[in-house]
Amino acid sequence: MKLAFIIDPIQTLDPCHDTSVALMEAAHIMGHEVWVTQASLLSVVEGKAWAILERVQLVPIELVDGRWVAANPWYKSSECNFMCLETMDAVFMRTDPPVTVSYLYATYILDYIDQNKTLVINSPSGIRAANEKMYALQFTKVIPETIVSADKQVIKQFVETKETAVLKPLGNKAGEGILILQPSDRNLNSMIELSTLQGRVPVMVQSFIPDAKEGDKRIILLNGEPIGAVNRLSAKGEFRNNMAAGGTVAKTEITPKEHEICSQIAATLRIDGLIFVGIDVIGGYLTEVNVTSPTGIREIDRLDGTRLGHQVIQWVEQAKNYKLSTINL
């Protein structure tokens, strides 16, 4: 197959951490062509999505004494062409958030790929529908008590009722801007004002989950089915469990309750074309649904001895073969 990956500049990626590299590496090992591009290099020409694509070959990383080690250089690029994306068997949209106007415009361009010819993972319309904080609100049975508001009084009343709450900006990533709110904090008004830009931008506020000290579990779902998980633990002096905030990772299992959460959201994910997803679970509650460029594969593979990237590419192979067989019927 020919697979295109829309990523941040490849030289900025960490081959020992980034899931995008894990997916590209798996495709390369399995004998497929790997092409890369960036959101800013997409175009629509004569009603079709095109891109400036660069073909790359990757040197697989190796596990040495319990840690990933990459070659230097870990990739080699060759030909570069302006190509119609429908010449690809699949296109992975893996640009990191935040979801800016430019990001949204890129998803509109990807709408001009005929998905009967080329798989797009994840669906452009699905990405637009799934703000990574807001999307979880429809699954009311499995999320903590949550409000979304820009109104200071509404937020303060919720905090006073819950005694401790967590504020999350709707558009940030990697734990950026997350705050612990308590009624007794003399900075409470200022924190709300700053986070809402003086009441102009809504934020999410959730009841604090005491089990957060036990970690924030990232579960990877492939077409609605959980395929692996890793527990993220906060650094000393830090309440956020995000790896980008200095958190560490630990081996974990997916509990029966977490399997039930996955089952409850699976059908909706499939309807929205959200094939490769990372959900965050704290204390048995769903807190986020990550659809833009969910990560965690490298950590899960290192701890569990798995190759989740291979599973994803195998799924793409099977999906492509299924499409071909239905077309030929």
Residues with active-site annotation: 133, 168, 218, 232, 240, 280, 288, 290
From CA 151, how far away is CA 160, in angstroms rounded?
14
By three-state DSSP, how is residue 168 classified? strand
Strands annotated E in 106-176: 119-121, 146-149, 165-169
> What is the number of other CB atoms lying within 10 angstroms of the CB of residue 81?
12
Beta bridge partners of 56: 34, 77
Beta bridge partners of 250: 231
First to last CA, the chain: 21
**Contact between residue 133 and residue 170 where contact means Cβ atoms under 8 Å apart:** yes
DSSP 60-110: --EEETTEEE--SS-EEEEEEEEEEGGGSSEEEE-PPSP--HHHHHHHHHH
From CA 288, how far away is CA 133, in angstroms rounded?
5
